[in-house]
Amino acid sequence: MPLTRGIEGAIPIGSVGQIGILVEDLDQAIDLYGRAFGIEEWNSYRYDKEFMPWSRYGDEEGTFAMRLAMGGANPQVELIQPLAGPSIYHDFIEQGHSGLHHLGVFVENLDAAISLMEKSGYRITQTARGYGQEGDGGFAYFDTDRDLGVVVEAIEIPATRRPGTVRRTGGI
């Protein structure tokens, strides 16, 4: 996935592993997207200051919170219901958007991905770290909309995720 302006000299950070969709109601969205894509089981979480001990929105400390559910694979579908802001999710909704928000790329080293993206001219809009059981794991969103028409997220998966709630799609 090229992430510099223009085709020549494009620098990939990895393959798309996740599709992020903003939703108004997570419970309804689990059933809707589950039926639409044949996803029977979702892992659901509430991300807030307790779950993400370090976060930033733009250049300031982050205070955002959201409910999310992840299901499927290749790519994984992530449904996000914004709760508290400010956040890039709230910005997206305030601009009159809903639905497809970002493409996620799983990376081994978040700092290396951030460095690569910044060298390519993409600034971080929102980031958080520490959502893993051992305080590891992190993500960073980049302002790539001008070139790609969608936000790109780099995701460093924690060694062990904190427990979430398993949700099932109704009617499957």
Domains and CATH numbers, the chain: 16-167 (3.10.180.10)
Q: Which stretches of 51-170 are assigned E, i.e. beta strand?
A: 54-57, 60-61, 65-71, 76-84, 99-106, 124-129, 138-142, 151-156, 165-168
Residues whose CB is less than 8 angstroms from the CB of residue 166 and which lie 6 or more positions away in sequence, other chains included:
41, 42, 43, 44
171, pLDDT greater than 70: no
pLDDT of residue 16: 93
Q: State whether residue 29 is helix, strand or coil.
A: helix
Averaged pLDDT for residues 66-88? 96
User: Which carries the bigger pLDDT value, residue 6 or residue 167?
Assistant: 167
Long-range residue pairs from 110-113, CB within 8 A, at least 24 positions apart, any chain: 110/138, 110/139, 110/140, 110/154, 110/155, 110/156, 113/13, 113/14, 113/140, 113/154, 113/156
pLDDT of residue 13: 84
CB distance 48 to 130 below 8 Å: no
CA 115 – CA 168 distance, rounded (Å):
38
- pLDDT-based confidence at 160, cuts 50/70/90? very high
pTM of the complete model: 0.90
Burial class (CB within 10 angstroms; exposed 0-12, middle 13-18, buried 19+) of 73: exposed
Residue 19 host element (H or E): strand 16-22
Q: How confident is the model at residue 170 (pLDDT cuts 50, 70, 90)?
A: confident
- Reported as a single tens digit per residue, the pLDDT across 47-66 is 998 888 899 999 898 889 99
